[in-house]
Structure 1
Amino acid sequence: MTLEDVSNIRLVNQQIEASTFKEGKDLVSWMGAMQAQDYAMATWGIGLRLPGSTEKLIQEEIDRGAILRTHLLRPTWHLVSTDDIWWILELTAAQVRTKSSSRLKQLGISSELCLKSNQVIESAFISHKYLTREELYFEMEQNKVGGGKDCWSHLIFLAELDGILCSGIKKDKSQTYAILCDRVSRPASISRDEALAKLAFKYFSSHCPASLNDFIWWSGLPITAAKRALEIIKPGFISETIADQEFWFPENFSRSAPVASSVYLLPAFDEFLISYKDRTAAFPLRHHSKAFTNNGIFHPVIVVGGKVKGIWKRTIKKNKVYFESQFFDDVSKEVLDLTKNAALKFAAFLDKEIEYIQPT
């Protein structure tokens, strides 16, 4: 197996090249969790893995609470299935809080302030099922929770980690929050080892081939916990050393041949790139700065035959989406035609007409 094989196999296991799912909830559960700070791009991250799906259908799943958006794994938003929200949150909330501790200290957020904020938040939902961020800010201001909006946003973030809040419905084009227990009943807790095993199994099944360092990065787990998780699931997995790295995958895994003519438009912050510490299997280091920045901004990318070959952007105006592509190097007419076809699928997902802007 080569690094080129690694990248193409990831396309398959991440359900990009051949999806085995029909519901967004099941797809998200297979992936474990999907990074989602860019909400519109995150819904496309599900959509491109569910052929024939639309933004409207994905939003319906989110609105009815089959898929939730909250903070877990790392200090950023993720999409997660209702089947997995509680045990992943219980496993990873403490580490997310720890990694955010310096910022919380800068903002002067104490345990007492957090407790007061949680009480204000819970009281606000007594008469409301869903509240926007601005509505929660208003409640905090009215109840004299000090600090201002930057502080309040972090207090809302902490309420998510405490299992109080999660995403609600989309209301007037705004995202809302809801009480987590109202959306998903809290099940009996599972042991830490069981949770570690479940998380590692999901990651190394859906993101394989992947290394231990990749899992540490994606999960946010401390090194000792991540090693423990892999150790527990090792009986069902095998490894192979490629380019001086040890990659893990299920023992019943079947290899997939590279598909040189495939073209996929991946959203910003997609799991295909962001879920790995080492991204050289997908494209060489010399192009990394074109696809993501040092401060953690990931651009939407064009993947050709399992390799990142360029970036793309879209501008939405009313019922039309304007699509632009930029390749790192010259590509064939076949790739350009396949890129247009991929753009048409994206426009269909949005239920909009497309205006294709020729690459320069």
Structure 2
Amino acid sequence: MAASGALRDGRMIGRLRLASQRLAGMEATSVPELVRWMTAMQAQDLPAALWAVGVRVPGAGLSQVRAAIDAGTVVRSWPMRGTLHLAAPEDLRWMLDLTAERLTRSIAARHRQLDISWADVEKARDLALDRILADGPISRSGLFKVFDHGGQPTQGQRGIHLLGSLCRHGWLVLGPLAGNQQLIAAFDEWIPSSRSLEREEALAEFLLRYFRSHGPATLRDFAWWTQLPLTEARRAFENVRHGLVELAFGGTSYWLSPDVVALLDSRVPGARSLHLLPGFDEFVLGYTDRSLVLAPEHSDLIVPGGNGVFKKTVVAAGKVIGTWALQGRGPHAVVVPELFGDTKPVTAAAEAAVARTAKRYLAFLGG
């Protein structure tokens, strides 16, 4: 494949993204390897995040994904956009160093409303570390009691903003699971080794890994994904573009890895694929422009009323064709798809594909 080229069929972008995101063709070998490859995976909804990993790791069960979090080989924190993500522990510090200052500035007005000063953040840090280093990881409610008793009120979102600040600045991190909640640990104890990079090096790595794991994507997609300045991303991109391939479509430049673009010379996987993806999955959320995989007229069916809560999606051949839900529990649980009204009549083969994928999801929950 040449260093750049033109793409005639926009539908191919979704299938190439399936390959980049390890949803088709290129399989991940383990939970930590998958998360490391994806660089960061949105994870404010913990059950959804667990399936987002599981759907990309053949044969993985829920217990394996949870075990990786409990072992600290996968971590969960606020590395960007003020949103929880899964990341590899060795990557978290340089991500935080790159994004924390800009995010702190963006929420400064909210902190003033909540009467949070830098002195309050430092006081909360001391209270938290004194308690955690003495007695080990603590629940969120337990930590908020420590804050309250130490003179740092937690009502009215003040507590979660204090916690977020301590995590963004690398003092705390979410640690082992306790049911569907996570205990809060001291960063340096839970992650003994996490890389620190100079800003230019960190931005170059972020760019390269985003396009390899999410491509085809644009620089605007990357800037939205990280909430880093587009002008800075453009400058840094010159240091990594030689390791990527450009595809032009509709007057826009998309970038992706040479390994994935090489599939255009043979066969792009995913033509007959069907996936039941969780809400908030990177396949939908990893881009500012989702129109090539999700028809704009269906956006409100995925995020009703633009409320920021993304529904689970049915994805066929790299295109979102509907939503799905889990009804019932345990052995009585069933997957119920709801396809968009303009979806072609469902064939017997498509129904079988949905049944197979649903069986895989139910096996994941029990595994």
Partner Cα distance (1:91, 1:131) in 2: 27
Partner of 1:22: 29
Partner of 1:208: 215
The question of 1:124 aligning with 2:126 is answered no
Residues 240, 246 of structure 1: 8 Å contact kept: yes
Any gaps of 5 or more consecutive residues in structure 1?
Answer: 353-360
Further displaced range: 266-275 or 343-352: 343-352
Among 51, 68, 77, the alignment partner of 2:58 is: 51
Among 257, 279, 288, the alignment partner of 2:290 is: 279
Partner Cα distance (1:183, 1:149) in 2: 29
Residues 114, 158 of structure 2: 8 Å contact kept: yes
Partner of 2:200: 193
Partner of 1:339: 354
Give the drift of 1:187: 4.9
Among 270, 274, 295, the alignment partner of 2:281 is: 270
The question of 1:317 aligning with 2:329 is answered yes
Further displaced range: 321-330 or 282-291: 321-330
Partner Cα distance (2:43, 2:325) in 1: 17
Partner of 1:152: 159
Give the drift of 1:320: 4.4
SS in structure 2 opposite 1:232? Answer: coil
SS in structure 1 opposite 2:307? Answer: coil
Residues 70, 78 of structure 1: 8 Å contact kept: yes
**Over 3 Å off, 4+ runs:** none
Partner Cα distance (1:223, 1:176) in 2: 35
Further displaced range: 233-242 or 6-15: 233-242
Among 302, 319, 328, the alignment partner of 1:307 is: 319
Give the drift of 1:72: 1.1
Partner Cα distance (1:48, 1:262) in 2: 13
Among 67, 79, 97, the alignment partner of 2:74 is: 67
Partner of 1:76: 83
Amino acid at match of 1:282: V
Aligned length: 352
Residues 86, 186 of structure 1: 8 Å contact kept: no
SS in structure 2 opposite 1:127? Answer: helix
Identity, % of aligned positions: 29
Among 105, 108, 113, the alignment partner of 1:106 is: 113
Give the drift of 1:316: 5.3
Among 255, 277, 292, the alignment partner of 2:303 is: 292
Residues 237, 251 of structure 1: 8 Å contact kept: yes
Give the drift of 1:173: 4.4
Relative to the length of structure 1, the TM-score reads 0.93
Partner Cα distance (1:167, 1:21) in 2: 24
Among 10, 23, 39, the alignment partner of 1:32 is: 39
Give the drift of 1:162: 1.1
Partner Cα distance (1:13, 1:125) in 2: 39
Partner Cα distance (1:215, 1:41) in 2: 22
Residues 82, 184 of structure 1: 8 Å contact kept: yes
Further displaced range: 18-27 or 149-158: 18-27
Further displaced range: 65-74 or 316-325: 316-325
Partner of 1:357: none
Further displaced range: 99-108 or 214-223: 99-108
Q: Cα–Cα, structure 1 residues 187 and 51, in superposed 2: closer, same or farther, change >3 Å?
A: closer
Cα distance per residue 1:247-282 (max 9 Å; x no partner): 012345312436432110011100001011111110
Cα distance per residue 1:186-236 (max 9 Å; x no partner): 456321111011101100111111111111111211112211232210122
Cα distance per residue 1:49-101 (max 9 Å; x no partner): 00100010010010010000000121100000012111111111112223333
Amino acid at match of 1:58: V
Partner Cα distance (1:336, 1:219) in 2: 38
Partner Cα distance (1:223, 1:110) in 2: 29
Relative to the length of structure 2, the TM-score reads 0.91
Any gaps of 5 or more consecutive residues in structure 2?
Answer: 1-6
